[in-house]
Chains A and B, each alone.
Chain A
C-alpha cells in the first residue's frame, strides 16, 4: 500500500466511524431539539441495547452459528432489530416516566444531572449482570468486501452509512412534516399552550423518548455487528464523541448531527494517520473548542425551540 492508498483507506474508515457516531448523535440531538434536555443516559441506553441485542441473538441460537439461508438471515435480522429497538425504546420511556417526569418544570441542571445518575445505574447493572469483560457479538452480517484501489470497503461499512442517512432523512421528515412532529415542536415551544390546543404533552414527550431510544437501539446493534464485541463501558467514549458530534453540527439539528459525526470520524482517522493516535482526543476537542469560540451555535446552527 502506498501512502495514497493508506489515506483512501483511512477516509473509508473515518466515514464508517463517523456514521457510528452519527447514529448515536441523532437520537440524542432529537431529544434535545424537542425538550431541550441534554440526556446523558442516552449513551447508556445505547450500551444496554448492545446487551439486549446480544441476549436476543443468544436466545435465537446465533451465539456461534449463522442462519443458513439469505432469507432466514434477513428474517432474523428484522426480528433482532425489532425486539432491540422496542426494548431500548421502552427503557427510554421508563427513564422518562420514573426519573424525569417528576422533575418536569424544575429549572436549572437538575434533570440533566439526573440523566447522569441514570447513566451510572445502567452501567453498573450491565457490569453486574454481564461481568466486566468484553463480550463477543455474533457475526450475522456477511463479511463481503470490495477493493477500491488497494483499499477495502466492507458490506458492513456500506450498510452503516446507508442506515445513518436513511434514519436522518426519516427523522427529519417526522419532525418537520408530520402531525406528530408538529405536536412535538408545539410542545417544545410552549407546553401549556400546546396542551390547551389539545396536544397530550405527556404522550408527546414519551414518544420523543421512545423514538430517540429506539434509534440508540439500532445504533447499538450496528456497533455490535461492526466491532464484534460489546462491554459495559462502550457508551462512555463512543457517547462522548457522539455528544461532541451533535454539538459540532449544532445541537438539535438533525442533519447537523450526521455531518458532525462524519467530521469527527474523519478527524479521528486522518488525525491518527498524519499525527499519532494517542493525540486523537486532543485533536477532536481542540477543534470543538475552536468551533465553539467562533461559531457557538455549531457548524450548521442550533435548532432549539423559540420559547414564547
Chain B
C-alpha cells in the first residue's frame, strides 16, 4: 500500500517535470551560451571568490539586459571549487568542475579559476578540449610559461588567459617596494604550501637576494595548524626587519594575530592573497595594522573614473567590489566580445573558434586595454601596493618595476 503511494507520487512528479520541461523548451527562442565559473565560494577565501563571482555576474546581467550578445543569451554556471575537507580551494574539485563544463556542450568558455593551485590542475584538461578560461586572479607564472608547455597545455595553444599579471612581477615588485620605499634590509620568508604561495614566495625571495636584502630563512606554514608560535619565536630570534608571507587567507587569519603578539614592530608584507576585505574581521584590525599587500593589476576600485561602476556594483550586488571583481567582470566582456566577432565573421561559435577569438582580443575596458600575448598573459604588467590602515586598504600606488 505504502509502496504504491510512493511509486505513484514519483510517477506524478516525473510527469510534471516532463510537462514543465517541454513548456520551458518551447519558450526559449534565444540561443544560450553558458559561461562556466569554478570559484571557491566557500572555504577560507570565500569573500574574495564572492567578489569575483559577483563581478562576473554583473557583466552577464548587463549584457542580457541589452538583449544578449550576437543572438546569444549569456548564462553563468557556478560551481564551488572549495571542499569541506580542504577548508579552502581544492585543486581536485576544480578539475572535476572543469570536466563538468567540458561535458556540457552549451558551456563554451569559463571565468576562473581564482587560485593558481586550481589553475595547475585544470590547465592540461582544458587544453585537450581547446576550451578557453579567463582567470580574474590566479598569478602563478608556471601555468602560462612556455617552459612548462608540455605539462600545462599539451596541445600547444594558449587556453589559460589572465586579466591580471603574474607572480613573475607581483612577488619581485613587492621586494622592490620593500627595498626602495620601506628600506628593509633583512627578511624572513614564509609560504602556505599552496602552488600560489610557494611560487610567489620563491619569486619574492629571488628578487630580494638580487637587491641585496638579506634572506634570513624560509619556512612553510600548515594552513590547518592553529599554532604558529614556534616559527614566529624562531623568526624573532633572528631579528629581521621584515616578514614576507606568500599565501592565502586560511594561514593568514592566524599568522596576523600571532605575529602581532610576538613581533609587533617587524614590517610585514603579503601578496594579493591577503588583499581580502574580511581580514580585519577574521584577525582583528589591530593585528593587521601596517601589513603591506599587493594586487597583480592596476588599482581600480578607488579610481575616480570607475566611480559610476563601483556605485552600480554596490547597489546591485550589495557588497564592496575588489579589483578582481573588475577583472572578472572584464573576463565576461572578453568572452562576449569574442563571440560577437565570431558571429560577425560568420564563423561557427564553438570552443575552439572562441579560444582563437579570445587570443586575438583587443578590448578597451575599465581596467585599460586588454590584450594577451601568445601564452595567454595580459600585456599590462602593473602591480599595485597597499597597506592595511585602520581596517582599510590604503592604495600606495604602483610598485617600482626595478
Please tell me if B230 contacts chain A, counting CB pairs below 8 Å.
yes
Tell me the nearest residue of chain B to A276, going by C-beta.
Answer: B219
A6 touches B234 (CB 8 A): yes
| Contacts known (A13-B230, A272-B231); A281 close to B222, Cβ less than 8 A | yes
B84 touches A136 (CB 8 A): no
Contact of B46 among A120, A131, A231, A232 (CB under 8 A): A131
CB within 8 Å of A: which residues of B? 42-44, 46-47, 82, 84, 87-88, 193, 219-222, 224-227, 229-231, 233-234, 236-237, 239, 249-250, 253-254, 257-258, 278, 281-284
Apart from the given pairs A269-B230, A272-B234, 20 other A-B contacts in the complex at a CB distance below 8 Å:
A1-B239, A2-B237, A6-B234, A10-B230, A10-B233, A17-B227, A120-B84, A132-B43, A133-B44, A134-B44, A134-B250, A135-B282, A227-B227, A231-B44, A232-B84, A269-B233, A276-B220, A277-B219, A277-B221, A277-B231
B233 touches A273 (CB 8 A): yes
Chain A contact residues, majority secondary structure: helix
CB neighbours (8 Å) of B250 from chain A are 134
B233 touches A13 (CB 8 A): yes
Please tell me if A172 contacts chain B, counting CB pairs below 8 Å.
no
| Distance to closest chain A CB from B254 (angstroms) | 6
B220 touches A278 (CB 8 A): yes
**A133 CA to B281 CA, complexed, in Å:** 9
A136 touches B227 (CB 8 A): no
| Contacts known (A227-B254, A273-B233); A234 close to B282, Cβ less than 8 A | no
B253 touches A133 (CB 8 A): yes
| Distance to closest chain B CB from A192 (angstroms) | 39
Please tell me if A86 contacts chain B, counting CB pairs below 8 Å.
no
B236 touches A1 (CB 8 A): yes
| Contacts known (A13-B233, A231-B87, A273-B230); A132 close to B82, Cβ less than 8 A | yes
Tell me the nearest residue of chain A to B230, going by C-beta.
Answer: A272
CB neighbours (8 Å) of A300 from chain B are none
State which residues 128-143 of A face B: CB under 8 Å: 131-136
Contact of B249 among A133, A238, A278 (CB under 8 A): A133
Contact of B282 among A20, A123, A229, A272 (CB under 8 A): A229
B84 touches A127 (CB 8 A): yes
A278 touches B229 (CB 8 A): no
| Contacts known (A1-B237, A236-B224, A272-B230); A136 close to B284, Cβ less than 8 A | yes
B281 touches A237 (CB 8 A): no
State which residues 82-137 of A face B: CB under 8 Å: 120, 123-124, 127, 131-136
CB neighbours (8 Å) of B282 from chain A are 133-136, 229
Please tell me if A233 contacts chain B, counting CB pairs below 8 Å.
yes
7 A-B pairs closest in CB distance = A278-B220, A6-B237, A272-B230, A134-B253, A233-B87, A277-B231, A237-B224
| Distance to closest chain A CB from B217 (angstroms) | 9
Please tell me if A9 contacts chain B, counting CB pairs below 8 Å.
yes
Please tell me if A223 contacts chain B, counting CB pairs below 8 Å.
yes
Contact of A133 among B47, B220, B229, B231 (CB under 8 A): B47
Please tell me if A208 contacts chain B, counting CB pairs below 8 Å.
no
CB neighbours (8 Å) of A135 from chain B are 282
A9 touches B233 (CB 8 A): yes
Tell me the nearest residue of chain B to A3, going by C-beta.
Answer: B237
Contact of B42 among A127, A223, A236 (CB under 8 A): A127
Tell me the nearest residue of chain B to A270, going by C-beta.
Answer: B230
A133 touches B226 (CB 8 A): no
State which residues 44-90 of A face B: CB under 8 Å: none
7 pairs across A/B with beta carbons < 8 Å? A1-B239, A9-B233, A231-B44, A231-B87, A269-B233, A277-B219, A278-B193
**A233 CA to B224 CA, complexed, in Å:** 7
Tell me the nearest residue of chain B to A14, going by C-beta.
Answer: B230
B222 touches A280 (CB 8 A): yes
**A5 CA to B237 CA, complexed, in Å:** 8
Please tell me if A268 contacts chain B, counting CB pairs below 8 Å.
yes
CB neighbours (8 Å) of B47 from chain A are 133
Contact of B226 among A131, A238, A272, A281 (CB under 8 A): A238
CB neighbours (8 Å) of A281 from chain B are 222
**A244 CA to B40 CA, complexed, in Å:** 32
B236 touches A277 (CB 8 A): no
A6 touches B233 (CB 8 A): yes
B42 touches A134 (CB 8 A): no
Please tell me if A305 contacts chain B, counting CB pairs below 8 Å.
no
Please tell me if A301 contacts chain B, counting CB pairs below 8 Å.
no
| Distance to closest chain B CB from A89 (angstroms) | 23
A134 touches B283 (CB 8 A): yes
A133 touches B234 (CB 8 A): no
CB neighbours (8 Å) of B88 from chain A are 132
Please tell me if A228 contacts chain B, counting CB pairs below 8 Å.
yes
Tell me the nearest residue of chain B to A228, going by C-beta.
Answer: B257
**A20 CA to B229 CA, complexed, in Å:** 14
State which residues 226-255 of A face B: CB under 8 Å: 227-229, 231-234, 236-238
